[in-house]
Chain A
Amino acid sequence: MKLFLRICLLLSLPEMIYSSASAQADSIKYKERAAAVRADVWAWKGEIFAGRTVPAEYANESCVIMARKAVIEADTKKRINWALGAHRNFYYNSTVREMVKINDKASLEEFSQLSYRQFRKLNGWMSATSTSFVGARIIKPNGTMKEVNIDEAVLLANGRNDQQRKLAISDLQVGDILDYFVRTEEYSEYIKEPERLIFVFGDDHPILFYTLHCEIGNKYAIEYRSMNGAPFAKQTTNEDKDVILDIGMKDIPAAPTGLWMASMRELPAFRLNVLAGGTSGRSTGEVVKDVPLGDVVDRINTGVSYPDPIKAKLIKGQVNDILKGYDKHYSKLPKDSLASLIYYAYRFVRYYNQLDASLEVGQDRNETNINSYDYLIYLNLLLNMYKIDTRFIVMPYKHGPAIQHIMGIGDLSVMLRWDMDPGQGKDLFFTNQNMFTSLGYIPAGLEGQPCPEVRAKKYLATRPEDDKTPLSKASENTQQEKLQVSFNGTDMQMLRVKRHTLLTGKMKEGEQVRLLNFEDCYESERNALHVEKSIMDDLKKARKSKNLSEDYATALQKARASLKDRFKEEISSEFDPEPKDIIAWKVDNPGLRHTAPDLAYSTEFTVDGLIQRAGNNFLLNIGKVVNSPLKLTPSQRTRKIDIYMSYARTLDCTVAFDIPQGYTVQGVDKLNKTLDNDCGSVTTSAQIQGGQLMVHFRRIYKHDQEAADKWPQLLAIIDASTDFADQKVLLKKG
């Protein structure tokens, strides 16, 4: 593992720690500074780096973080810069030192190399640089200590603005303690961009001591908060009036990771924003503990209040052209119809009617995502122009920090809300997920979240702050499968499956991106909006873009040719074993609009491995035809933390299996089962009908989130699905 990267992850910096070096840097001075830094860090006082014994309960861990200390220093004092001499400018240093007991080869490998960017110029001049220093030493089980020779680091990049190195940690063995640090010193002549840090008091290894010490000079502004059960920071000042923050935790067990978890809502963490005072909505020296939500939302106000007038004019013109072409009297349409027309015309302009030099019209095009603020600000302008009184609302991400822990704009997403009939609670939402987002759609990651309203230039909670975005039900997010299954001709061990799939609600989010063909969607929307000319028409017409038109046509052909592979991928993700041959695939409804919102498609394929011969008879693994259940490891069967799924959902699958001539089916009665609890349900039924075995399977996860103590009930649903996947019926000859 690249330790430097590891350090970055520990700090969870939104932007990577800048590092590396100027090629002109004086290596002697660098070495002198590096030696001074090492002497400084190794001399850190305190009990946390004194321990050498791993508690018995962690003896079987791959490694144990015996101690971790992070120090953040930011000041503007005059000092001697090792490269540039004396300056009074902005200095920002971050140091993370970690002492790790290596207990096995997996951890030995993880900690055996240290990659870092030694120097980096942060701008075109030498007015902003970042320099990293590292140190490492090995403490052997007998207590002897040996410093790793940093000069053994090899050079990976040696550019003028960027110097990267990698160090193999010598003499590191299982049983040793590795004590290492990375310090990054940033210098800037000018006020620098703010740092936003999250210190998560959890790791996939246990941590015995974790402390954080911050010394922030009074030219900066500071915001901070503890969340999810982290202790409160102790705030003091020193004689220079620097703000000192100290926080720490002890005996932090290895954090659970993986299935259905939201780390930002479940693990203790300390958040710290070091801001450039005077330029970030905070004055110099201001210290704000537990930033009020209103402060953050006020910063959004600025963003949404000043759209670019030139861009606005251009977009307005393009959208109005479409509106006029659609209906000369469009402005007289009922407001809800007009809102819908404007929304889809705008979406067409921003997402569809664009052609860039990359000619990307395949799956990557489907994944294009315009920044939501940029997208909605102009949509808001358009809607407001026609007296559709949409308002900005902001909400946290379902798996990000909770609303009470918001520390910056990046923690929030944004939507437009139109109160269609004031007082009646009839809201219409305008959102921006991607080019397939239909009117009123709430993306899965934003549903059920508190959504304060943002008024231009001023935050006003005109509606209760506990207002939430709508939360969908399991019945709204469905995967409906209808499978017509038969033997593949005379091959009694190969099944031929004709499948019709309908995805509603959130279930369609991923598959639209995977399965829809841009050209088809483009034409569908162009026709729906009565747009006469396509991009191709314009390209063909203009002599200078004739070649572009031909290239574009070729790119569209290639994108269409890729659909078979994309459908094969989709089928493989649903069925185990994987399909053998893909015979047919077709999108029946793309689900682009709220008037026909569901994604429907049909596929036909063959699959083997689900029929086993037993003399003259056959065993059909009907359970696997129906569903491919979630597999849990034994350790996942116990759980102490809450469950965060994406959304409530329903899988509803009907199979009609053609019973071959001369065979009867046994074991049908075993397929009728029902389980229903607080978290979900599994209902299965089967019968013989007109020469077919009809099997119905329905599994419901009732909620998107469950408390930890509900895990046994959720487990029961998973187990019932797994049990059904093992179900077989016998096709008996005669």
Chain B
Amino acid sequence: MKLPSSLLPAFVLIFLRAIPLSAAPAFTRGDSNIVISNKTEHYSFEEGGQEHPVIIRQEHKTTYYCSELRSAIPWVETYDGESRIDGVKIYVNGSRDRSIQPKDEFYSSGDIFYSDQRVYYFSLPFLKKGTSNEVDLEKTTLDPRYFTTIYFPEEQPVRQKTVEIVVPKWMHLEIKEMNFPGYSIRKTHQFDDRKQADIYTYVITDLPSFRNEENSPGPSYVYPHLFILSKYAELKTGKQQYFSELKDQYAWYHSLVLQTKNDPAVMKARATEITKGITGDLDKVKAIYQWVQENVRYIAFENGMAGFRPEKAQDVLNKKYGDCKGMANLTKNLLTALGFDARLCWIGTDHIAYDYSTPSLAVDNHMICALNYKGKFYFLDATESYIGFGQYAQRIQGRQVLIENGDSYLLQRVPVSGYEQNEVHHQYDLRIEGSALTGQASHLWKGENKENILLRANAIRKNKLEEALLEFLSSGNPNYVMTTVKQDGLENRNADLSFQYKLVYNKAATIFDNDIYIDPDFRKEFGNADIDTTSRRMDYLFDCKGDWITETNLVVPAGYKVQDIPTGLDIQRKGYSFSVSCKLEGSVLKYRKAIIIKDVRLPRPGFGQWNTDVAQLKKTYLQQITLTRK
């Protein structure tokens, strides 16, 4: 779905790397060299014309200071069909610089096939240490619905920033202050009698820059910002309704959905063809869901109002590609053609901190399909190409979902799955033959861990797939020799993925005199998962919950006894646990390791404990079994 442009500054970091600046000095970003010594942002709600009854005028004045050495920074502003840039003035070292020619291009990113977002950018040079530059921006947002957030941080550290919002009496909105604790932010509010407007002023000092860290929560969880909820405007021409309540937002969404004219006859024909020979209701649903996953390529389109309106189901069917709305709409229409009660749903993934208690376009970023079957809702997200029916990706689990219900709506939550949904299980039954371990091995992947493997497997050319899978199973170790490999689930999203094979693991036993040394764990998940606490600033988000289990059963050869085994490990934390045990049962040594990630979010204060625990795990991994001749 379309992102409101006010959200974009947090993401343009990626784009900045692509700006060519051959003649400019080297870039600096986010370090202490270039800082924003002062910035004022003025926002004013004003009456517009017939097409845009209420507009928001922005005036930004930014003063940059070069504190260490001459450099250049990329200056970027985004806009789209619902906003425009009215003017930019650039001052370099005190003088207006008209030689800098901003570029104006479509925003492009690897993930998005097409977006109507445009980037207006240039390189701002700092001639020498100690100089200041200024950039003045005038911009207009044409519809308050698209004016959703004002983020305080910038690409550079900010010494002082003043944000002033002028809200006339006729404009009814709510300003929510998000993530303020820990920052120096002073707020004042006054009513301007002359303008008949409320003026909200925020003065922020000493603000660190935006930061791009992998596996981080979305910016709305992290950075101080204002969340603007425009409810309605009482204009001379009458009341202009925005999103006072969720029903207003739904009504607007629903009106856009109604503009999409689907062809039931085409849907009926294709749905019948897909489910030919299938009798069970849920089997039909699975067949439809899998067909869309398998045959429709996900391509992200973000195009003005079309960013909120699904493409016609028959067009998606014909083209075999679509964005999330197109895929959800096709899934829905194929199901309804078979008589099922299927509906479109709007949802904000876990990248977004808000929910529908605050009606706004910033609340959601995705569309899926819901199936109402025998009083229970099942959610179908065909953009997750390889997940099974009834399984949910971490990004939508527990999220509020706005379900279409004619003129009204339903608000539910996507079920939260336990870590068991994504289990990974390795089982080895081995004996020692010389310096080799031989026996049977089996592996099982479920849920999102399975989906991840299927995703990667399908990206590999089929003539390379077998080699890639064997390399994956052996961790690239040429001594790990597999024969009679059987797999199941590689072509079936609704089954677990499993491999079984005979294993000869050469050189896995190290023999010295009367002793044999064996490493019982060949995969050692999370052994190097410690977090660099010196550089990381944000909480860490694991990709998904899950449990990783390894069981190695080793037959102690006749004439040998167990001399030493790895000491056990049992670490139980709120969000995760590590446990390792090794014991002799009869003539079989049983090694078992279970790593469980119960909560995907590891808060920053927990990094120290996590690192200590990972160090313990690693020490355990570096212990060997010792067998000695009796």
| Shortest distance between the CB of A609 and any CB in chain B (Å) | 7
Q: Is the CB of B128 within 8 A of A547?
A: yes
CA distance A63 to B114 in the complex (A): 27
**Partner-binding segment picked from A356-364, A685-693, A703-711:** A356-364
Residues of B near A106 (CB, < 8 A) are: 458-462
Knowing A61-B463, A666-B513 are in contact, say whether A171-B479 is a contact too (CB < 8 A): no
CA distance A550 to B70 in the complex (A): 10
**Nearest A residue to B26, CB-CB:** A358
Q: Is the CB of A154 within 8 A of B114?
A: yes
Sampled A-B contacts (15; CB under 8 Å):
A154-B114, A157-B106, A168-B321, A170-B318, A550-B69, A612-B517, A612-B623, A612-B624, A613-B624, A616-B564, A619-B517, A631-B478, A633-B471, A634-B470, A732-B512
Residues of B near A369 (CB, < 8 A) are: none
User: Considering the complex of A and B, which 9 residue pairs feature the smallest CB-CB distances, nearest first?
Assistant: A615-B564, A62-B461, A170-B319, A551-B69, A547-B128, A614-B624, A154-B114, A554-B69, A104-B462
Q: Is the CB of A359 within 8 A of B69?
A: yes
B622 interface contact, C-beta 8 A: yes
Residues of B near A554 (CB, < 8 A) are: 68-69, 129
Residues of B near A62 (CB, < 8 A) are: 461-464
| Shortest distance between the CB of A392 and any CB in chain B (Å) | 31
Q: Is the CB of A615 within 8 A of B626?
A: yes
A555 interface contact, C-beta 8 A: yes
| Shortest distance between the CB of B536 and any CB in chain A (Å) | 17
B479-490 CB mask vs A (1 if < 8 Å, else 0) is: 100000000000
CA distance A62 to B507 in the complex (A): 35
A103 interface contact, C-beta 8 A: yes
CA distance A730 to B320 in the complex (A): 61
A143-155 CB mask vs B (1 if < 8 Å, else 0) is: 0000000001011
B372 interface contact, C-beta 8 A: no
Residues of A near B519 (CB, < 8 A) are: 612
**Partner-binding segment picked from A107-115, A466-474, A650-658:** A107-115
B584-628 CB mask vs A (1 if < 8 Å, else 0) is: 000000000000000000000000000000000011001111100
Q: Is the CB of B318 within 8 A of A551?
A: no
CA distance A555 to B26 in the complex (A): 11
| Shortest distance between the CB of A153 and any CB in chain B (Å) | 10
CA distance A551 to B467 in the complex (A): 54
Q: Is the CB of A103 within 8 A of B70?
A: no
A353 interface contact, C-beta 8 A: no
Residues of A near B467 (CB, < 8 A) are: 633-635
Residues of B within 8 A of A (CB): 24-26, 68-70, 105-106, 108, 113-114, 128-130, 295, 297, 299, 318-321, 458-464, 467, 470-471, 476, 478-479, 507, 510, 512-513, 515, 517, 519, 528, 563-564, 618-619, 622-626
Q: Is the CB of A730 within 8 A of B70?
A: no
A108-124 CB mask vs B (1 if < 8 Å, else 0) is: 11001100000000000
A608 interface contact, C-beta 8 A: yes
Knowing A113-B113, A359-B70, A493-B622 are in contact, say whether A547-B130 is a contact too (CB < 8 A): yes
CA distance A577 to B527 in the complex (A): 12
Residues of A near B510 (CB, < 8 A) are: 619, 728, 730
CA distance A70 to B478 in the complex (A): 43
Q: A106-B458, A154-B114, A548-B70 are in contact. List 5 more A-B contacts (CB 8 A).
A: A106-B461, A107-B461, A112-B297, A168-B319, A547-B130
Determine which of A108, A155, A609, A614 lies in contact with B564 in the assembled complex, contact meaning CB atoms within 8 Å.
A614
CA distance A15 to B275 in the complex (A): 52
Determine which of A173, A357, A732 lies in contact with B295 in the assembled complex, contact meaning CB atoms within 8 Å.
A173
Knowing A168-B113, A168-B319 are in contact, say whether A60-B463 is a contact too (CB < 8 A): yes
**Nearest A residue to B513, CB-CB:** A666
CA distance A612 to B619 in the complex (A): 8
CA distance A61 to B464 in the complex (A): 9
CA distance A593 to B564 in the complex (A): 57
CA distance A555 to B68 in the complex (A): 9
CA distance A666 to B129 in the complex (A): 62
Residues of B near A170 (CB, < 8 A) are: 318-321
Residues of A near B463 (CB, < 8 A) are: 60-62
Knowing A60-B463, A613-B623, A615-B563 are in contact, say whether A667-B25 is a contact too (CB < 8 A): no
Determine which of B462, B464, B507 lies in contact with A726 in the assembled complex, contact meaning CB atoms within 8 Å.
B507
A722 interface contact, C-beta 8 A: yes
Residues of B near A608 (CB, < 8 A) are: 618, 622
CA distance A552 to B69 in the complex (A): 7
Q: Is the CB of B478 within 8 A of A722?
A: yes
Q: Is the CB of B517 within 8 A of A357?
A: no
- A599-620 with Cβ < 8 A to chain B: 608-609, 611-617, 619
Residues of A within 8 A of B (CB): 60-63, 103-109, 112-113, 152, 154-158, 166, 168, 170-173, 357-360, 364, 493, 547-548, 550-552, 554-555, 558, 577, 608-609, 611-617, 619, 631-635, 666-667, 722, 726, 728, 730, 732
Q: Is the CB of B113 within 8 A of A166?
A: yes
Residues of B near A172 (CB, < 8 A) are: 320
Residues of B near A156 (CB, < 8 A) are: 106, 108, 114
**Nearest A residue to B130, CB-CB:** A547
| Shortest distance between the CB of A9 and any CB in chain B (Å) | 17
CA distance A58 to B240 in the complex (A): 64
CA distance A616 to B106 in the complex (A): 65
CA distance A577 to B476 in the complex (A): 15
**Nearest B residue to A62, CB-CB:** B461
CA distance A634 to B299 in the complex (A): 35
| Shortest distance between the CB of B474 and any CB in chain A (Å) | 10
Q: Is the CB of A555 within 8 A of B624?
A: no
**Nearest B residue to A615, CB-CB:** B564
Knowing A61-B463, A617-B626, A631-B476 are in contact, say whether A105-B458 is a contact too (CB < 8 A): yes
**Nearest B residue to A169, CB-CB:** B321
Residues of A near B458 (CB, < 8 A) are: 104-106
| Shortest distance between the CB of B11 and any CB in chain A (Å) | 18
| Shortest distance between the CB of A535 and any CB in chain B (Å) | 15
Determine which of A154, A634, A732 lies in contact with B113 in the assembled complex, contact meaning CB atoms within 8 Å.
A154
| Shortest distance between the CB of B119 and any CB in chain A (Å) | 12
Knowing A106-B458, A166-B113 are in contact, say whether A360-B624 is a contact too (CB < 8 A): no
CA distance A718 to B299 in the complex (A): 44
Knowing A155-B106, A157-B106, A359-B25 are in contact, say whether A551-B128 is a contact too (CB < 8 A): yes
Q: Is the CB of A60 within 8 A of B130?
A: no
**Nearest B residue to A719, CB-CB:** B478
| Shortest distance between the CB of A255 and any CB in chain B (Å) | 13
| Shortest distance between the CB of B156 and any CB in chain A (Å) | 17
| Shortest distance between the CB of A407 and any CB in chain B (Å) | 29
| Shortest distance between the CB of A290 and any CB in chain B (Å) | 37
Residues of B near A726 (CB, < 8 A) are: 479, 507
Residues of A near B105 (CB, < 8 A) are: 157
Residues of A near B129 (CB, < 8 A) are: 547, 550-551, 554
Residues of B near A631 (CB, < 8 A) are: 476, 478
| Shortest distance between the CB of A564 and any CB in chain B (Å) | 13
CA distance A24 to B448 in the complex (A): 50
Q: Is the CB of A60 within 8 A of B462?
A: yes
Residues of A near B319 (CB, < 8 A) are: 152, 168, 170-171
Residues of A near B25 (CB, < 8 A) are: 357-359
Residues of A near B460 (CB, < 8 A) are: 106
| Shortest distance between the CB of B298 and any CB in chain A (Å) | 11
CA distance A52 to B106 in the complex (A): 40
**Nearest B residue to A613, CB-CB:** B623
Q: Is the CB of A613 within 8 A of B512?
A: no
CA distance A170 to B618 in the complex (A): 50
Residues of A near B528 (CB, < 8 A) are: 577
Best-buried of B297, B563, B624 by chain A (most CB within 10 Å): B297
